[in-house]
Copies of this chain bind each other. A is one copy, B any other.
Amino acid sequence: MMSKATSFDIAFRAGVSQSTVSRALRNSPLVNEETRLKVQAIAHELNYKVDKNASSLRTQQSDTIALLLFEDPTNDDSLINPFFLSMLGSITRACAQKGYDLLVSFQQLSDDWHADFEDSKKADGLILLGYGDFVDYQDTLTKLSEQHTHFVRWGADVADEKIVSVGCDNLHGGYQMTEHLIKKGRKNVAFLGDASTHAPEFLERYNGYCNALTDHKLSVLSELQVDAISIEESGYQAACQLIEKNLSFDAIFGASDLIAIGAMRALQEHGIKVPEQVAVVGFDDIAVASYTIPALTTAKQDTTLAGEVLVDNLIALIHGENPTTTLMPTKLMVRNSCGS
């Protein structure tokens, strides 16, 4: 077994210089059609592939994007939020389509971020995706920004011009879901999910919820908001609290599908019928949402589009352009968890 072919081997066989080989393989217009074809044929024959380390070193670009998925360290290892997993899928595809490779890395928010993919020249830019306490997270964003790292993030707008975000219109989405419940005749809608600056996306959804209640002349009852993070167990716990406090409510708005699904489980275990006694809506439209019984009415975040926009914006940044923060609409997916 011989070692891998280099451009010199091809040059030798083709009877041209190595520079010409390099040009031919990159389809440079500077090279004669015939020469190019001959070189490419030989390259193919030898199963030659350009050494990316050498070419990246020379050109100072890697054509690679790094995806940093960070999670709340309290989470179980195996419990990756399916919403982000689906985002990962669409980002992978979007990268492939644009000719970029994708490095994936899971971060624990507690650690120092392993965010040096760009510094080490392994990637031309970063996509940040995740959940967890936003307050901790913001410092890191600022630091990255100061180091002139190219990055875009998924999430609520952070009111910093230098930081490019892509996110859903959580305020309107929250409004939309709450209004749907109200139109179904529900008057006492509980909100399950954190509603603080630590979780800005949930907070926006909560604000939308409050606006919808107010617009429909319903009062916002603080005891109907129970904190929960985006895992099923947490939604379950929050709903149990609600039930055990003997509060009166006829609908639950889970700040994410996982929360809503946990809440449904709690309701069912307590013999409370969904949707007859309590209607439930979620947020995200993860795949599971259509498999639950009843199937969950929710606000769809278009992960395919989101992945594309994240990648497009990052590539624009890398090219020195100035993409702006993007807000995407959510879509009401009506299923069976609110009655017919």
Taking Cβ atoms with an 8 Å cutoff, the residues of A that contact B are: 1, 4, 47, 49-54, 56-57, 62, 64, 77-80, 82, 85-86, 88-90, 92-93, 96, 101-106, 114, 116-117, 119-122, 147-148, 232, 261, 265, 268, 287-288, 291-293, 303-304
Contacts and interface: CB of A to CB of B under 8 A. Distances in A.
Please classify the interface of chain A as helix (H, G, I), strand (E, B), loop, or mixed, using the class held by over half of its residues.
mixed
Given A77-B93, A101-B103, A106-B89, A57 B53 contact: yes
B106 A96 contact: yes
A104 B106 contact: no
A79 to B, nearest CB: 7
B49 A116 contact: yes
13 contacts: A49-B121, A51-B121, A53-B121, A54-B121, A78-B303, A82-B82, A85-B89, A96-B106, A102-B104, A265-B291, A268-B293, A287-B288, A288-B291
Given A52-B53, A78-B90, 9 more contacts: A53-B53, A53-B62, A82-B287, A101-B103, A103-B103, A287-B288, A288-B291, A291-B291, A292-B292
B287 A77 contact: no
A139 B261 CA distance: 43
A48 to B, nearest CB: 8
B105 A96 contact: yes
Nearest to A69: B92
B52 A304 contact: no
Nearest to A148: B1
Given A78-B86, A78-B90, A122 B96 contact: no
Contacts of A122: 52-53, 64, 101
Nearest to A302: B78
A78 B89 CA distance: 7
Given A57-B57, A101-B105, A106-B93, A49 B119 contact: yes
Nearest to A232: B291
A30 to B, nearest CB: 23
Most buried by B among A88, A101, A102: A101
Contact of A102 (B57, B62, B103, B261): B103
A121 B5 CA distance: 12
> By CB atoms of chain B within 10 A, which of A4, A261, A287, A303 has the most?
A287
A79 B287 contact: yes
Contact of A120 (B52, B78, B88): B52
Contacts of A293: 268, 292-293
Contacts of A96: 105-106, 114
A228 to B, nearest CB: 16
A58 to B, nearest CB: 9
A49 B115 CA distance: 11
Contacts of A77: 89-90, 93, 304
Nearest to A54: B57
